[in-house]
Amino acid sequence: MMAEFKSSDATQQVVSHVRRMLDRGELRAGDRLPSERDLARQMGVSRPSLRAGLRSLAVMGVVTIRPGAGSFIAGGPPAFGSDTLGFQAALHRFTRDQMFQARLVLEVAVAGLAAEHATSDDMIAASDEATGMFASLDDPQAFLRHDIEFHRAVAVACGNPILSAFVNVVAEQFQEQRQATIGRARDLKEAADEHRAIYLALRAHDSERARRAMRGHLERAYRTQLGEDGVIA
């Protein structure tokens, strides 16, 4: 028992050490961490404890471990582990309605912010995905990929990386249902039209219109996943 405690304590020491380095600006996104031997010596921990700490950081999305190349501070936008939310949903018996309400609150608000803050690059990304949906009306799986990327593009366009990360985590919980629903979709064009309406509201920098368009889309999508109309989410 004492050995387990010491191992856990050393693992937390690794996590805390990397956090301090980030806080001081000694490590930045994309940076390669020192070798395991050097890091273990700096922190005064064993290499097994160091590896355990690095694995914990990888689960948090802070570190990327590349076999043969080393460990790196994660680059790109922040990412929160969707598995954590999945486990919490199972543990606390989150209902489908509760999960949908969370997604609705987040994505509707984010759409409004995106209309205010979207850059020209953000608009290009959203436009490309919306166009891809219309080009994929006869390929449901390709359509779904464009659908998912469109929502990610809107989340990025809101200008708040924290909200963007939350949107992605919550939205990912619905992907399994969307995979099942898309197989029996009757009208992909309706979904494509809804996404285009969101895009046009963003391009017009009309926050209220963007929120309204996103709400309408998500509410219909949820009805679809409940099996009410058989149309794609």
Q: For the segment 64-99, what is each residue's pLDDT rounded down to a tens digit?
A: 888 888 899 987 666 665 556 555 666 667 788 888
CA–CA separation, 75 and 161 (whole Å): 13
Residue-level pLDDT at 221? 82
pLDDT, averaged across the chain: 84
Mean pLDDT of the region 216-231: 74
Specify whether the CB–CB gap between 203 and 130 falls below 8 A: no
Residue-level pLDDT at 89? 60
**Same domain assignment for residues 114 and 188:** yes
Residue-level pLDDT at 179? 65
CA–CA separation, 212 and 32 (whole Å): 44
Residue-level pLDDT at 232? 41
* Full-model pTM: 0.68
Mean pLDDT of the region 33-59: 89
**Same domain assignment for residues 101 and 213:** yes
Q: How confident is the model at residue 231 (pLDDT cuts 50, 70, 90)?
A: very low
**Same domain assignment for residues 145 and 165:** yes
Token pair 């919980």 in the structure block, residue: 173
In the predicted model, is pLDDT for residue 21 greater than 50?
Answer: yes
- In the listed set 33, 56, 73, which residue is the last one of a domain according to the structure? 73
The total domain count for the chain is: 2
> Please, what's the largest Cα pairwise distance for the chain?
62
Can you read off the two tokens belonging to residue 139? 């390929």
Domain of 95: which CATH number?
1.20.120.530
Mean pLDDT of the region 203-227: 91
**Same domain assignment for residues 58 and 36:** yes
Residue-level pLDDT at 3? 45
**Same domain assignment for residues 133 and 207:** yes
Q: Which domain holds residue 210?
A: 82-225
Work out the percent of the chain whose per-residue pLDDT is above 70. 81
Q: Which helix (H) or strand (E) holds 64?
A: strand 63-66
Q: For the segment 28-37, what is each residue's pLDDT rounded down to a tens digit?
A: 888 999 888 9
